[in-house]
Structure 1
Amino acid sequence: MKILLLGHKGMLGSDLLLQLRRKHEVIGLDKEEIDITSMPSCEEAINEHVPDVVVNAAAYTDVDGCENALSECIAVNAEAVLNITVSCRKKNIRIVHFSTDYVFDGNSSEPYKEDDSCNPLNIYGTSKLAGENYLQSLSNNYIIIRTEWLYGKNGKNFVRTILDKAQTTNKLEVVDDQIGSPTYTRDLAHAVDLLLERNIKGIFHITNRGNCSWFEFARKILQEGGITNVQVLPIKSDQLKRPAKRPPYSVLSMQKFISATGKIMQPWQLALQDYLHDIRYQASPKG
């Protein structure tokens, strides 16, 4: 299978590249080689490489930044998906696109299913939902993967931030009123490969198994990292006064993915252990 991977240098893209190139021919393009906000640039790349699948791992992911950069956010997360879809439709090329739990408002009391009503609370979620809608309205040859709370070896993420801050302070304040599922990009990349191999299409929710609050996640990060001299204190989301509102509960149901593939993702606690092992993390003494 010939795969064109967009955003291959990013946190998710780099793990997708490592996984997919094991079995497939993968061509990675990033912003230096393609401007996904330009229709001619997308068409040129598709016509040059003629892939069987385009995997779009490029996105504007600064949730708070989106609130003050509306045009850029919409261009990358929505209009670019339109460009990719139109470029691929002419040759019936399958598209794998990544979306987010932030398409939901968090008012549910149970995990969100793929066909549950969307109601994003912020510009980021709105832009990602618009990208989904473009893809679904113009193609029937796609996989849309909604995921959440990603962390990986390459790029800024919550796990790395907590570990870094723990080296310079004895106290961390973390919100305890947002619930989700931490997800290791390496595990997500494995799941994507499985969907491609089985030629499965549609919308799927994929995360590591289980859920927690950011507060609980932070405590587990320190515990697994062997850091015992840092106190984690719970705070509420409104205390942070962030520009973008977050859903209080955005756990995603994976029953559809499990039914389609037979695969059960590993618990987020074990995925965290794997990540710390993969980055060869060792706590260093302060000072």
Structure 2
Amino acid sequence: MKILVTGVGGQLGYDIINILQNRNIKCVSTGRQEFDITDFEQTQVFMKKEMPDTVIHCSAYTSVDKAEDNVELCKAVNVGGTRNIAKVCNEIGAKMMYISTDYVFPGTGEEAYEVDDPKGPISVYGSTKLGGETAVKELLKKYFIIRTSWVFGKNGNNFIKTMLRLGKERSEVNVVCDQIGSPTYTADLAPLLCDMVMTEKYGTYHATNEGYCSWADFAAEIFRQAGYPTRVQFIPTSEYPTKAKRPLNSRLSKKSLDQAGFQRLPTWQSAVKRFVKEENL
């Protein structure tokens, strides 16, 4: 087994490569310097040289607000780049795992989204990630699509690191309380994905840490675990305008994981506790 991982400079790609190496699985880590995924010829040449059995595609344009002003670039990376990788996977007979997002859904209601529920992204980022999903499904039979949410990890910037910084600087922070979802620790998600790609249980899955909370609840738990006295002011999304619309409901059902026999991830509170402890070492 030889696995090529894109986007190793990001939070999830970084952890996936570390796990594969620790498991002594032959892997190739790639970023922008190795090849440009938006260039089909570069993608084809690199992948045919390496001839992986599997590609875990973590590379993406993830700046949700900037995407509203950089539509073509976001589309080129998230749709075009994904399509290029899927095309070559089809040519060489490789499996593909594509990392997607809760943003493919409209974010309405209060029920957890099932994998086949109607899509309806409300941002450029969400629509391009859905476009990537479509490309994978059109071109491949041997694919895994993994939707996750509210990701945080050791390698890169994220909400917890921001809150830990603000907690040292301020006695109070304003955080939105009407967007509900599941924080997801890449150190928990990565092992599941590495297990999954070793199987032939193809399809679409939702994978996040267990439990739901608001961003304000998330912040309060971070301060509690860090021992900071910082107070969280719970504010509605309407008081915190952003360039891109955010889904109010990011709950994702794990029924697909259960049905395939994969183990669910630990609770988000457990994940926060472990991450904060590691950050404060």
TM-score bracket, normalised by the shorter chain, equals: over 0.9
Residue number in structure 2 paired with 1:238: 238
SS in structure 1 opposite 2:155?
coil
Q: Taking structure 1 as the reference length, what is the TM-score of the superposition?
A: 0.95
Residue number in structure 1 paired with 2:55: 54
Q: Distance in 2 between matches of 1:30 and 1:198?
A: 25
Q: Distance in 2 between matches of 1:278 and 1:3?
A: 28
Residue number in structure 2 paired with 1:157: 158
After TM superposition, the structure 1 = structure 2 runs for residues 83-94 of structure 1, keeping only pairs within 5 Å, are: 83-94=84-95
Segments ≥4 residues shifted beyond 2 Å: none
Q: Distance in 2 between matches of 1:52 and 1:278?
A: 34
- 1:127 equivalenced with 2:116 (yes/no): no
After TM superposition, the structure 1 = structure 2 runs for residues 57-136 of structure 1, keeping only pairs within 5 Å, are: 57-136=58-137
8 Å CA contact 1:195, 1:261 repeated in 2: no
Task: Please report how far the alpha carbon of residue 139 of structure 1 lies from its aligned counterpart in structure 2 after TM superposition.
Answer: 0.8
In the superposition, relative to structure 1, how do residues 89 and 262 fare at CA in structure 2: closer, same or farther (>3 Å)? closer
Task: Please report how far the alpha carbon of residue 223 of structure 1 lies from its aligned counterpart in structure 2 after TM superposition.
Answer: 0.1
Q: How many residues matched?
A: 280
Q: Distance in 2 between matches of 1:172 and 1:109?
A: 26
Q: Sequence identity, in percent? A: 36
After TM superposition, the structure 1 = structure 2 runs for residues 160-239 of structure 1, keeping only pairs within 5 Å, are: 160-228=161-229, 230-239=230-239
Q: Distance in 2 between matches of 1:278 and 1:232?
A: 23
Q: What letter matches 1:10 in structure 2?
A: G
Deviations 1:37-74 (A, max 9, x none): 00001101111100000111101111111001101100
Query: What stretches of structure 2 of length at least 5 have no aligned partner?
Result: none
SS in structure 2 opposite 1:34?
coil
Q: Distance in 2 between matches of 1:200 and 1:272?
A: 30
Q: Distance in 2 between matches of 1:21 and 1:261?
A: 25
Q: What letter matches 1:32 in structure 2?
A: Q
Q: Taking structure 2 as the reference length, what is the TM-score of the superposition?
A: 0.97
Residue number in structure 2 paired with 1:6: 6
SS in structure 1 opposite 2:205?
strand
8 Å CA contact 2:48, 2:92 repeated in 1: no
Task: Please report how far the alpha carbon of residue 264 of structure 1 lies from its aligned counterpart in structure 2 after TM superposition.
Answer: 2.2
Q: Distance in 1 between matches of 2:255 and 2:274?
A: 24
8 Å CA contact 1:55, 1:95 repeated in 2: yes
Task: Please report how far the alpha carbon of residue 169 of structure 1 lies from its aligned counterpart in structure 2 after TM superposition.
Answer: 1.1
SS in structure 1 opposite 2:84?
helix
SS in structure 1 opposite 2:5?
strand
8 Å CA contact 2:104, 2:130 repeated in 1: yes
Deviations 1:87-145 (A, max 9, x none): 11011110111000000111132111110010001100000000000110111111110
Q: Distance in 2 between matches of 1:105 and 1:165?
A: 30
Q: Distance in 1 between matches of 2:146 and 2:137?
A: 12
Moved more, 206-215 or 247-256: 247-256
Q: What letter matches 1:248 in structure 2?
A: L
Task: Please report how far the alpha carbon of residue 17 of structure 1 lies from its aligned counterpart in structure 2 after TM superposition.
Answer: 0.7
Task: Please report how far the alpha carbon of residue 274 of structure 1 lies from its aligned counterpart in structure 2 after TM superposition.
Answer: 1.5
Q: Distance in 2 between matches of 1:174 and 1:7?
A: 29
- 1:36 equivalenced with 2:46 (yes/no): no
SS in structure 2 opposite 1:113?
coil
SS in structure 2 opposite 1:167?
helix
Residue number in structure 2 paired with 1:21: 21
